[in-house]
Amino acid sequence: MRRVSRICLLGGLVWLGLWGAVPTKAQGAAGTRSEPAMFYCPSLLGDGAQTGRSFCDVLTGRDVAAGIIIEMPPHRGEVTLTFDLHNRHAYSEELIAANRAFRQYTATIGVLTADNTLLTRAVVQSQFRSAADLVDRVFGGAGVGGLKAIAPTGSESIAVTIPAAEKTVSILGEKLTVIYADGPDTFTGPGRPVAVISNVMLQYRPR
């Protein structure tokens, strides 16, 4: 399969993200189509060094307009939204060497309609002990190889059925609980990145 790009609107600018080995507008059973979603990412984490995926932070909040806005193409009937949900980890070689890198993350997010109706909640839970627990490293940092310290860890495949009448949905964070070696902490304050999504796809019947 050829590599294809998809458009993500980022802060009012058009951003082109390269996706590896993804079929564009693939036709499925009963005339369904599967393709990468167009969405507005208010806090882009960056592109994966190994997977080539684009990783978008999920921010806590109650205002659907401030979330990750995913646009529905012209369609008939329900749309199926799928994405991979990850925890966020601040990677540190020093903590690993000192045997103090352990973290257990539980992040909860919501997928909502434009009128603030909750369609579903999703949870990703994972543990970090070593670099082998990372999903990918992300370009754009000051570290070795230009990599960021923040990286996705853990992965849950999420599927959401979107009602036929909806033109957009929003993804917002609700809560993050982190268990350290010396105890837990919980984060719910607005505007905090609590999770990461990638591989955002839509399956639908074109109108």
Q: Specify the DSSP class assigned to residue 152.
A: E
Mean pLDDT of 178-206: 96
Cβ atoms within 10 A of the Cβ of 155, count? 16
How far, in Å, CA of 67 to CA of 42, rounded?
A: 7
3-state secondary structure string across 101-118: CCEEEEEEEEEEECCCCE
Mean pLDDT of 3-18: 37
- Residue 25 pLDDT > 90: no
Closest to 3 in 3D by CA, of 55, 71, 37, 52: 52
Cβ atoms within 10 A of the Cβ of 152, count? 28
Mean pLDDT of 4-24: 37
Residue 93, strand partner residues: none
Inside any domain, residue 139: yes
- Residue 10 pLDDT > 90: no
Could you report the per-residue pLDDT of 28-72, keeping only the tens digit for each? Answer: 667 899 999 999 999 999 999 999 999 999 999 999 999 999 999
How far, in Å, CA of 134 to CA of 26, rounded?
A: 30
**Residue 125 sits in which domain range?**
37-206
Q: How confident is the model at residue 128 (pLDDT cuts 50, 70, 90)?
A: very high
Looking at residue 155, its pLDDT comes to: 98
How far, in Å, CA of 102 to CA of 125, rounded?
A: 14
Inside any domain, residue 96: yes
Looking at residue 142, its pLDDT comes to: 80
C-alpha distances (whole Å) from 42 to each of 5, 9, 14 are: 19, 9, 12
Inside any domain, residue 29: no
- Residue 9 pLDDT > 70: no
How many domains in the chain?
1
Inside any domain, residue 24: no
Inside any domain, residue 17: no
Mean pLDDT of 144-162: 95
Inside any domain, residue 80: yes
Q: pTM for the whole thing?
A: 0.87
Inside any domain, residue 202: yes
Inside any domain, residue 142: yes
Q: Specify the DSSP class assigned to residue 61.
A: -
